[in-house]
Amino acid sequence: MEQRFFSVTENRQIAPLRFIMKLFAEEAGITTPGQFINIKLEGFTLRRPFSVCEFDENSLTVAYKVVGEGTEIMSRMGIGKKLDVLTGLGNGFDTENCPDNPLIIGGGMGVAPLLPLCKELSLSGKAPKVILGFHSAEEIILLEEYSSYCNDVTVTTSDGTAGMKGRVTDAMDELHNCSYIFCCGSEGMMKSVFEKAKCPGQYSFEERMGCGFGSCMGCSRKTKNGYKRVCKEGPVFDSEEIIW
């Protein structure tokens, strides 16, 4: 974990209530897909955690949804705004021992932290398949970015306005040889994926956080290996230790 001051270089709306914010610093501090940052907002005691959907040595990008006063303030931030950020938080995805054709499944804003994972897998010579689930066509985000790294991307929408009508688990019916899964989304969605997949994988969780770096214990959840902190030992957990 490092505290750094980032400058906003881009902040634009990409779908209703959904935005992309790009941040620049001398060192971005993110090294692994699945890690997150904690942003301090003026007027609020607790920082706000955000998944990172793109990063390099000097910059990172977060995709966020306006759900309250804090994110509404963020949506109005202009270019050059300085932000106090805790970066390099959490344990991300481990790609070292996954097979050559893993399945990536994201739901809603949960597609964001899976994008750099898809990029890393593709650049390392693996051939991931991707399923992205949304409620409707207007909520789809990052599809173009995923398609630039993977030529096997399936979109599902609950109302059928784009892609396959249904849930991400419906799209899994077409994949009979899946042997490993990376997943992020609502806990209910991830549980459904886990129960249907019947194969190993890694699941990234969201939780209300106080500090974001393991001090307050506020985001602890019970696992088969005892209580673990989503912000410190997570947010990515191996399927074998999860208690749903």
Angle at 43 between CA 39 and CA 45, to 5 degrees: 65
Domain boundaries, the chain: 2-89, 103-204
Specify the CATH number for 2-89; select among 2.40.30.10, 3.90.850.10, 2.60.34.10, 3.40.50.300.
Answer: 2.40.30.10
Whole-number Å distance between alpha carbons of 232 and 215: 9
b/e per residue, 119-129, with b = 16+ CB within 10 A? bbbbeeebebb
User: Do 2-89 and 103-204 fold alike per CATH?
Assistant: no
The pLDDT, as a whole number, for residue 176 is 59
DSSP state at residue 157: E
Tell me whether strands 2-15 and 129-134 are parallel, antiparallel or unpaired: unpaired
Residue 218 to residues 42, 147, 212, 227, 241, Cα–Cα distance (Å): 22, 37, 9, 11, 20
C-alpha 204/C-alpha 238 separation (Å) is: 9
Amino acid 175: pLDDT: 67
- pLDDT tens-digit map of 95-139: 988 999 999 999 999 999 999 999 999 999 999 999 999 999 999
Q: Which two tokens stand for residue 232?
A: 């410190």
What residues of the chain score a pLDDT lower than 50? none
The CATH class given to the 103-204 domain equals alpha beta
The pLDDT assigned to 123 comes to 95
pLDDT at residue number 207: 80
Q: How many Å apart are CA 214 and CA 235, to the nearest integer?
A: 11
